[in-house]
Structure 1
Amino acid sequence: MLKLLLTTSALLGPALAQTTAGAPAVTAYVMPAAAGAVPVADNPYAGASVYVSAQYAQKVQSSIVAAGANTTLVAAMQKVTTYPSFTWYDTMASLTNMSMHLKAAGDQGAGKNIIFQAVLYNLPNRDCNALASNGEIPQGELETYKTKYVDVFVAALKAKPANVIPVIIIEPDSLPNMATNLGKMKCDEKSNVEYRAGIAYAISQLSSIPGVVLYMDYGHGGWGGWPKNQAALPVIYKDVLDKAKALNPQSTFRGYASNVANYSPFKGNGACPAQEKCPLVNNMYDYNPCIDEDLYSTLSGKALTAAGLPNRWIVDTSRSGQKNIRQQWGSWCNLNAAGIGERPATDPSAVVDALVWAKPPGDSDGTSAAGAARLDKNCVPSTNKADVGFNALPNAPEAGQWFDAQFAMLVANANPAL
C-alpha cells in the first residue's frame, strides 16, 4: 500500500445529540468475530453492541468538510464514524460530559445491553516519563484524585441506564513506568507509591459497580516485551490488586489493554517493529521477542498466570495499520505514515477478547509547538534519525485535540482499507 506522508498540518465542543449537522447519524456497532476467531465463553465483547459517539462523529465531520471534493477520502472518513472508540476522561472537568454519554449509550441500546467504553486517566503526576499528556493533579494530591476524580467517575457510572455495561481502561502509561522508568524524568519513588495506591483505589471503587469490566493498561510489546520487563510487570500488578482487595475484597479486573494510543501492529507477520535495529535476530528485535501485540499478549501470559493474575486482553488497533514506519521503537508521538488498523472485532487469539479503538483516530498525541509547556521531544519533528521525534508530524495541537491532517493521513493509510 502507498503510504500518505504529511509535511504540513480546534478542539470542538461536545455534541449533545446523536446526530450532528451534516454528519451521519450514529448507531450502535455490533462486534463481529475476527477472522479465525478463538472464542471464549465469558467474553464481554462477543456479539455485543458497543456505543458509538456522536461527539466523535462531529470531530470527523470537520475533517470531512476540509476534505472538500475528495470524494474517496470523504467516503472513507464517513465509515470511520460507524466504529466505536473509547471516550477519555483526562480531567476532572471532563467528567461533566459523562452522564450525557451514558444516557446516549442507553438510548442507542434501545432496551438491550450495550457496552460503553471509557478511559480513566488522571493520576497525580500523570505520564511521569513524558510531557505531552501531563495531568492536572500534581504529585502529593492523591486525595484529590480519589475524591474529586475517581469518586465522581464512579458515581456517574452507578447512575447509568440499566442496559449500559461499562468497559474501562485503567490509567494508560502508569504502572509500566514503575517497572521500567523509575528514576527517569518525574518517575520517582513518590510516584511509584501514589500510582499504586491511586490505581488500587480506582479498582476497589469500580469493582463495586455490577457488570463493570476493567482492563489494566499494560504498555505494549516495545515497552514490556523484554524478558526482564515481562518478569517485573506481574509483580507490580499483583501488588496493586492486593492493595485494592484490602479496600474492597470484591476487587478484580478482567485483564489488560495493550498498545493503547500506540502504533504497533497486532500481527506484524515477522516485520521489524522499527528500523533502528533491524534485521531481526532469531525473530527478536534487540533481544525482545514481542515484535507485535499478538506475541506480546501471548508471551506475557506465563508470568501473569504464575503470579495468580488474569490473562485476558484487549488490543488497540486504531492506528496500527502500517508496519515498520518508525526509526526508533520508542517513538510514540503523531507518527508520520501511520494508518488506521483492524476494525474492532472479537476473539482474534486465544487470550485476546477484542481488538478495539482505544485512541480515537485523529486525536493528537501532543503538541509540536515550540515553547509550549507540554512540548515533549518525541513530538518535535526532526531530520536526524537519532532523535525520537524523527517520525513526528509537524503542526500538531495539544494532546487530545483534533488533528485534521493526522486524521486524513490515518484514513488514507488505513490497512485494511476503509
Structure 2
Amino acid sequence: MKKPALLVALSALLTLSGCSREFVESMYDVDYTTTNRFANNLAPQPGQLTKDSAALDQLMNSFSGQVERYWGENDALVASKRQYVKYTDGYQSRAHVDFERGVVIVETVAKTDPTQHLKSAITTTLLTPENPAGVDLYSDSAIELGDKPFLYGQILDNEKQPIEWSWRANRFADHLIATQLKKRAERFHQVYYVEIPMVADHADKRGYKYAHIVRDASRRYGISEDLIYAIIKTESSFNPYAVSHANAYGLMQVVPATAGADVFKLVKKRSGEPSPMYLFDPANNIDTGTAYFYLLRHRYLKAVKDPLSLHYSMISAYNGGTGGVLKTFHHDRNQAMTNLNRLQPNQVYWALTHKHPKAEARRYLQKVTNYQKAFNQGKL
C-alpha cells in the first residue's frame, strides 16, 4: 500500500523541527481544539522533502491554502484530537465528525449539482474504513473503501440500522438529502449540508473495538485497564485518526520523538522512533502508550513510595512530563521527590491539580481520574 502523503510529510516535519509535546507545552499553554493554525504545521505533498526553510514553509501552507480557497478563512476546519475532518472532491466537500458533540456534519460548496456532490460525500463518510492508514487527512485524496466502516454502529440510518454496505449508505444519503438538507450562506459561497446524530453511546462503541488490545497491553505491562481506557478517552475520545499540532498521534496521542523513542529504546530494544503510520495502528498505539506508563512506573518515577501517589504522578507525567511533576514540589529534583514522599496521596493529588506549572496538566489529571471512576462504575 502506498504511504499516505500525511505520513510522509509528518515524518519529515518531526525530523526537521525536532518539536515535541514537552517542548511546545514548555513554551505555551497548548489548546488542542480544532484550529486553522494546525494546518500550517503540515506538509501534504510527498516526495518534496527538503531542509530548505522557504520550500518547507511553502509545503506547510499548501493544505491550508487549498482549504481556504474553497471554504474561506473563517470556515476552514482541520482535524484534531477529537475532530475528524476530511476533504474530498477537489476540496469542494468535507466530512466533519465532532466526537465531543456526537454529530457528523457532511458539507459541500460545489456550485454545480451540489446535492449529487453531497450524496457522494455522505456515502464516502459513512463507509470510511477503520484503518487510518488508508485516509490522508491533509489532502483531498480519495479514501480507500472496503474494510468495515469506522462509524459502523455509531450512526443508524432511517430504519435504525447500522451502515456497512454501499447500498444502505446510498439509500440513507438519499433520505438525508430529501428530508434533512440545510443551507447556509458564507461570505463567498453557499454551503449545502446535513447533520447526522451519532448514537448516545458512540464513545462506548468505539471503545469496545479495542477491548482485546487494551486487555493484552494491561497484562503485558502491568498497567490497569481502567487507566488505559481513561487515558484514551481523555486523549482522543477513542478516535484512531487523532492528531495534534504537538506531533502526537492516535488513540493514546503518543509523541514519536519523546515517549515513542523511549519505548523503542528502553522497552523494545530497537533504534529510532515510531513513525506516524506505526502509531496510527490501534494495536501499536495502545502498546506504545501503555509501555510508556511502564517506564514511568519502573524508571522515571520509581522513587515515589506510595502506590496511589505514584498513580497520580504517572498520569500527570504522561501529559506534562516527569519534570513537570517534580517541579510541582520543588525546583531541585531530589528535593522534589523528598517533598512528594512526605505527602499523603490526597495532598499529592491536590498539588498536581492546583500547583503544577502547566494549566493543561492540572486539568488533565482531573479528567483522567474522573474517567477512571466512570469506567469502574460502568459509565465510560
User: Into which bin does the TM-score normalised by the smaller protein fall?
Assistant: under 0.3
- The structure with the larger Rg is 2
- Indicate the structure whose relative CO is greater, using CA pairs within 8 Å and at least 6 residues apart: 1
- Identify the structure with the greater helix proportion: 2
> What is the TM-score of this pair, normalised by structure 2?
0.26
